Amino acid sequence: MTVLEAIESRRAAKAFDPNHMLPEAHLREILRAGALAPTAFNIQHNRLLVVKNPEIRRKLRAVSWDQPQVTDASALIVVCADVQAWRKNPARYWRNAPEKVQDTLVDAIKAFYTDRDQAQRDEALRSSGMAAMNLMLAAKSLGYDSCPMDGFDFEAVAKIIHLPDDHLISMFVAIGRNTVPPKARSGFLEDHERFFEDGFPVSGGSQASIAICVSPSV
């Protein structure tokens, strides 16, 4: 399966086969794909928590609008981030680099994040999205379906998984075998609503936004 085929055929699965087991080797390949997603300054703040215990899965489902994917998926990954990773011995993120490079980057990391709570949070969410996409595409390439989820009580989930105070939860990625074929896309945006060139339209101004014809038939 090519990358473009995986991207095109990945759809949110809602009805996983609860009896399907994900081989451990495949879970490891999927997790490794998540770990390989980029992070700014290589701070690698994503934390991937796999919930295997059925009792914990049931507790999570109870605080996730009772969505069956939470218990029925073959793997449930809670994608989290250590929001304070940038300040936890940042030299280790560059330990293989020459000392001068390492020092420069550690200074840059501190300058970029210190006293910038919203930037720290934004970074965690942004990075977690990239990691989650890798998880889903790796799963697809190995023959599985996935469901990205953020419809749950974040505080309740944090308690169940003992989330450290300086971490956040971004989303769940549920992975398994879907038992029903995906429906047609429910309402794909027109190109001119999504793609822009050089600038957004300025009302009354001279700069036009040009839509790029990408998806004539979806």
Stretch that binds a second copy, among 14-22, 49-57, 67-75, 174-182 (CB under 8 A): 49-57
Phi/psi for 101 (5° steps) reads -60, -45
Using CB under 8 A as the binding rule, the residues of this chain from 56 to 95 that contact a second copy are: 56, 92-95
How far apart (Å, rounded) are the C-alpha atoms in residues 130 and 141?
17
Residues 129-159: b if buried by 16+ CB within 10 A, e if exposed: bebbbbbbbbbbbbebbbbbbeebeeeebbe
**Interaction of residue 50 with a second copy, rule CB under 8 A:** yes
Q: How many residues at the interface with a second copy, by CB under 8 A? A: 89
- 37: DSSP letter: S
Select the residue interacting with a second copy from 121, 155, 156, 182 (CB under 8 A): 121
Select the residue interacting with a second copy from 18, 23, 116, 125 (CB under 8 A): 125
Select the residue interacting with a second copy from 58, 103, 156, 207 (CB under 8 A): 207
Residues 43-62: b if buried by 16+ CB within 10 A, e if exposed: bbbbbbeebeeeeebebbbe
Using CB under 8 A as the binding rule, the residues of this chain from 11 to 40 that contact a second copy are: 12, 27-29, 31-33, 35-38, 40
What is the nearest approach in angstroms of a second copy to the Cβ of residue 108? 8
Interstrand relation of 167-176 and 75-82 (parallel, antiparallel or unpaired)? antiparallel
**Interaction of residue 111 with a second copy, rule CB under 8 A:** no
Looking at the Cβ atoms of 69 and 127, the one nearer to a second copy is 127
Looking at the Cβ atoms of 127 and 177, the one nearer to a second copy is 127
